[in-house]
Amino acid sequence: MKREEALAQIEQLRQEINEHNYRYHVLDDPQISDTAFDKLMQQLVELERQFPDLITPDSPTQRVGGQPQAKFAQVVHRVPMLSLDNAQNLNDLRDFVRRAKNLVPTAELEFVIELKIDGLAVSLQYENGVLVRGSTRGNGEVGEDITHNLRTVHSIPLRLRRPYTIEVRGEVYMPRAAFLALNEEREAQGQTLFANPRNAAAGSLRQLDPKVAAERHLEMITYALGYAPDLTPGTHYEALLAMQDLGLRINPYFKIAHSLEEVVDYCESWREKRHELPFDIDGLVIKINSLALQEQLGTTAKSPRWAIAYKFPAEQAETKVLGITVQVGRIGTLTPIAELEPVKLAGTVVKRASLHNEDILREKDVRIGDYVLIQKAGEIIPEVVEVIKAKRSGEEKPFSMPTNCPACGSSVKRLPDEVALRCFNPQCPAQELEKIVHFAARGAMDIEGLGPAVAQQLISAGLIKDVADIYLLPQKRDVLITLERQADKSVDNLINAIEKSKKQPLWRLLHALGIRFVGARTAKLLASHFGSLDALMSASREELAQVPEIGPKIAASITDFFALPATQELITRLRAAGLNFRQTEAKQPQLLQGKVFVLTGTLPTYSREEAAQMIEAAGGKVTGSVSKKTDYVVAGEKAGSKLAKALQLGVKVIDEAALLELLKMQ
């Protein structure tokens, strides 16, 4: 491979890995499996090995990962919290042992094997035996102070059995039973479900209110010493026992091994047994037992040479495709779904798997009656890996995507440069549910209490069919309180939220209408330029194209939307309900004139769109990227790379309360 080709591949891999790191460590929203992520890292490591002059200090291979968040104080770890290299197979384990023996050729190696709990790594600091601080791993050197939440975890002692000054490392996790109960509760309330126990645990520990963490039934296992001048163990095994003696909880499932064969046997024994545990593990950790040898072996820039994580491969299972159905989304996208013969996979029963779109369905050639291999991407999302064509009997039935929408019967078509078939009937019942949920969402009309579950309940009860019907609900209070899980208070809160939404600014209504390609930013541009919904509806494509950032594609989508008779009828009904159709600009002092702001993360009270609107109304400017010209970065929960850059450049970071103080609104 030529150097130029390698450079292009390396840059692409770094970009992908950085994006996945951000989603995993900052957003707690992984989009690919650990296996797929590890493959990306292996490709990058191999290319950098071949072209070492292309290694840069900011390459993902040269760092631990993650960034502390602004809403929490920063904690500097006395001893860095390094991440572990991964072993994907037995050869990787052999290489780990071989490298260690090469570095300490005269030593007899002994290993400690521990379960690798899938949670959030934390560090606990005790002063004179009292818990004074708890923090996340962060970037390995600096973490986030989450002491207020860790104090709610009952398996973390607030005082040790001896008055030692010590720093220990552990994993906070959510037991499987607690995770299932939490998601059941969230589903009943119409809230977004957590993808897995690890995300639930991480999200719980990053709450400002410790009551949230206290209700989540979190647990912790301690697995290593950090700073520990009062303890002098000779081995990692002795360190585990010493921590247990101090009152810290350790994992009882560990083993001392004296050979690679013993290590392999113990790792393999947990491949199936892991589902019997009350918590999730994604592998095992193998450490060289002698602490003296650990010190002698040392570390690389990001990982110790004396430890490695053996990751279980993504679990796969064979099952039969009983049928293929089609789901319809908010904008009419048709998604094929494989209906499967129930099969246990990664500890759960899988009955369905997405086939994504028509192209993937054809590429994999999935037929009704086929036997297929499925796996969970990151043990979260079921997917069809491949068809087992050797098992075909000839009776399998190919599946073709429908020419008519399965929900409403309208013709469907595939637009140029798109992979999905779509239904273009604005009154399609399947789309109406998704449209109602979008209309009521926080970033749109912000009708609190009208989530997916409640919307479906209202549709099933015949109380609403479309978004205009939402504004008839206040007249049906007596019917609403008869619905399951609807009490006086919840119904009154919903009605108040509906009435309040009538006064939302025009841009929110434009965003809520769900016009294709019109997000919040485009909606603001349109509202500001035309000043009223009527002016926008009467605008031609040429007039729309005069608006900055509005190209021919968006202009065509807007004119086509408002030309539909169904849209015109909807607008008439919303007008009769009393919604705000005009751009109103309140006069207020330009307190932030000339100041440049960047918003990142989730604010506790206002959405980022609302905060941006307040800043702009006060004369400030909101931009999407941080630079030396930025005056303030307003950081909320799950702030990410923008916060990191602000800290790097020395830009002032504030929270929502400080922003309101600047606006003189407190």
Q: Do residues 194 and 300 both lie within one domain?
A: yes
> Quick check: 288 pLDDT over 80?
yes
What pLDDT does residue 193 have? 61
Q: How far apart are CA 83 and CA 65, in angstroms?
A: 8
| Most confidently modeled range among 66-70, 164-168, 552-556, 591-595 | 164-168
Q: How far is CA 572 from the centre of its chain?
A: 39
3-state secondary structure of 11: helix
pLDDT tens digit sequence for 126-171: 999 989 999 998 888 888 899 988 988 888 888 888 999 999 999 9
pLDDT tens digit sequence for 502-549: 999 999 999 899 887 787 768 888 998 899 999 999 999 999 988 876
H/E segment holding residue 628: none
User: For residue 14, what is the domain's CATH number?
Assistant: 1.10.287.610
Structural domain count, the chain: 5
What pLDDT does residue 442 have? 79
- Token pair for 650: 């020395």
Last residue of a domain, one of 513, 543, 577: 577
Q: Region 69-83: what's the mean pLDDT?
A: 80
User: For residue 274, what is the domain's CATH number?
Assistant: 3.30.470.30
**Torsion angle, alpha carbons of 475, 481, 485, 487, to 10:** 110
Q: Region 434-453: what's the mean pLDDT?
A: 89
Q: Do residues 86 and 224 both lie within one domain?
A: yes
Q: Do residues 566 and 612 both lie within one domain?
A: no
- Token pair for 529: 């330029």
**C-alpha distances in angstroms, 474 versus 460, 463, 485, 604?**
18, 11, 18, 28
Please indicate, yes or no, if residue 331 is contained in any of the structural domains. yes
Please indicate, yes or no, if residue 583 is contained in any of the structural domains. no
pLDDT band at 184 (very low <50, low <70, confident <90, very high): low
Q: Region 594-607: what's the mean pLDDT?
A: 83
| Alpha helices (H) along 104-220 | 147-150, 176-188, 197-205, 210-214
Please indicate, yes or no, if residue 286 is contained in any of the structural domains. yes
> Quick check: 313 pLDDT over 80?
no
Q: How far apart are CA 326 and CA 334, in angstroms?
A: 6
pLDDT tens digit sequence for 483-504: 988 888 999 999 999 999 999 9
> Quick check: 586 pLDDT over 50?
no
> Quick check: 317 pLDDT over 50?
yes
Please indicate, yes or no, if residue 423 is contained in any of the structural domains. no
3-state secondary structure of 649: helix
340: left (phi over 0), alpha (psi -120 to 50) or beta: beta
Q: Region 8-24: what's the mean pLDDT?
A: 78
- Token pair for 12: 């692409």
Q: Do residues 241 and 165 both lie within one domain?
A: yes
Specify the length of the chain in residues: 666
Q: Region 366-389: what's the mean pLDDT?
A: 81
Domain enclosing residue 548, as ranges: 429-577
Q: Do residues 184 and 251 both lie within one domain?
A: yes
Q: How far is CA 588 from the centre of its chain?
A: 38
> Quick check: 113 pLDDT over 90?
yes
Name the catalytic one among 71, 116, 435, 638. 116
Q: How far apart are CA 541 and CA 549, in angstroms?
A: 13
Contacts of 464 (CB under 8 A, 6+ apart): 436, 455, 458, 470, 472, 473
Contacts of 223 (CB under 8 A, 6+ apart): 114, 169, 170, 171, 240, 250, 251, 285
Q: Which of 523, 529, 507, 509 is nearest to 557 (CA)?
A: 523
What pLDDT does residue 477 have? 93
Q: Do residues 307 and 320 both lie within one domain?
A: no
Please indicate, yes or no, if residue 615 is contained in any of the structural domains. yes
Q: Do residues 155 and 200 both lie within one domain?
A: yes
With beta carbons less than 8 A apart as the criterion, state whether 595 and 634 touch.
no
**C-alpha distances in angstroms, 339 versus 69, 123, 325?**
42, 44, 7
Q: Region 331-360: what's the mean pLDDT?
A: 85
Q: Do residues 333 and 396 both lie within one domain?
A: yes
Q: Do residues 361 and 498 both lie within one domain?
A: no
Does the active-site annotation cover 344? no
Q: Helix, strand, coil proportions of the chain in percent (round to 5)?
A: 40, 20, 40
User: For residue 616, what is the domain's CATH number?
Assistant: 3.40.50.10190
Which range, of 319-333, 375-389, 536-550, 561-575, averages the lowest pLDDT? 375-389
User: For residue 347, what is the domain's CATH number?
Assistant: 2.40.50.140
- Token pair for 352: 């369905």
pLDDT band at 479 (very low <50, low <70, confident <90, very high): very high
Last residue of a domain, one of 274, 295, 311: 311
Last residue of a domain, one of 17, 33, 62: 62
Q: Which of 343, 522, 511, 504 is nearest to 438 (CA)?
A: 511
Q: How far apart are CA 205 and CA 198, in angstroms?
A: 11
With beta carbons less than 8 A apart as the criterion, state whether 432 and 488 touch.
no
Q: Do residues 79 and 171 both lie within one domain?
A: yes
> 260-273 vs 90-103: helix axis angle to the nearest 10?
150
Please indicate, yes or no, if residue 244 is contained in any of the structural domains. yes
Question: 225-236 as b/e, with b when 16 or more CB fall inside 10 Å?
Answer: bbebeebeeebb
Q: Do residues 330 and 369 both lie within one domain?
A: yes
Q: How far apart are CA 454 and CA 437, in angstroms?
A: 9
Please indicate, yes or no, if residue 540 is contained in any of the structural domains. yes
Please indicate, yes or no, if residue 56 is contained in any of the structural domains. yes
Contacts of 240 (CB under 8 A, 6+ apart): 112, 223, 250, 254
Higher pLDDT, 450 or 158: 450
Phi, psi of 123 (to 5 degrees): -125, 135
Q: Do residues 209 and 285 both lie within one domain?
A: yes
